[in-house]
Amino acid sequence: DVADDLTIELQLLTLALAAGINDASTFPDYRVFVSNQTGNTALLAVGALGLSSEGHYLPNIAVSLGVFILGGLVFGQIGAHVGRRRKAWLLATNAVQTAIFFVGVALRQWFAGSEQRGAHAWAVITFLAFASGGQVAMARTVDLPQIPTAMVTSAYVDMLIDPEILSLHDRPRNRRLSFVLCLLVGSFIGACTYAYADPTLAL
């Protein structure tokens, strides 16, 4: 099994950085998150009632949320049977998720272009959200709850209620803070690359 050490922490923090990049570079086009499903859950109601002037398109939201759940279910259940903390499984699942993600990136580059709705957009969202669902499921099952890789609200709250928040050597707090910073930095990288270079390059 994988050890609870700095190596796995750095891997999860790298995934958090990537999650920030992914959402910041896909949201401007598709008005959905591929990793942060808390936002999509709220947007589902907003889109269903047509309350947003920002162009939140209900099918995009439903595809992202539904496929993310499917990705989490598939990878989560397979991991439960083969051993969630086994090194071979973690290597395999990361490789598969990366391959799936790059299929989505290729579709966006070669076929979808700037299309924000319709079959091409849904195909891109499907691959990105499915890979993200598997990635978050994997992160949640390696017993490092301080680094969930995508969902940041609990990390904020857990830091604030930590009785050792001012302690010099509080490892759980340090993990949470590192996670928040990685997600934030990744978001800025994705947004800046989208704005000043190319959306596909960010992914």
DSSP output for 8-19: HHHHHHHHHHHH
Q: Say if CB 111 and CB 131 are below 8 A apart.
A: no
Q: What is the pLDDT of residues 177-201, one digit of tens each?
A: 999 999 999 999 999 988 887 766 6
Q: What is the pLDDT of residues 31-75, one digit of tens each?
A: 889 988 888 898 888 878 877 666 678 888 999 999 999 999 999
Q: What share of the chain is helix, strand, coil (3-state, %, to 5)?
A: 75, 0, 25
pLDDT band at 167 (very low <50, low <70, confident <90, very high): confident
Burial of residue 183 (number of CB atoms within 10 Å: 0-12, 13-18, 19+): buried
Q: What is the pLDDT of residues 85-134, one digit of tens each?
A: 788 888 888 899 999 998 988 888 887 566 778 788 899 999 999 999 99
- Among 123, 144, 126, 124, smallest CA distance to 134 is for 126
The length of the chain is 203
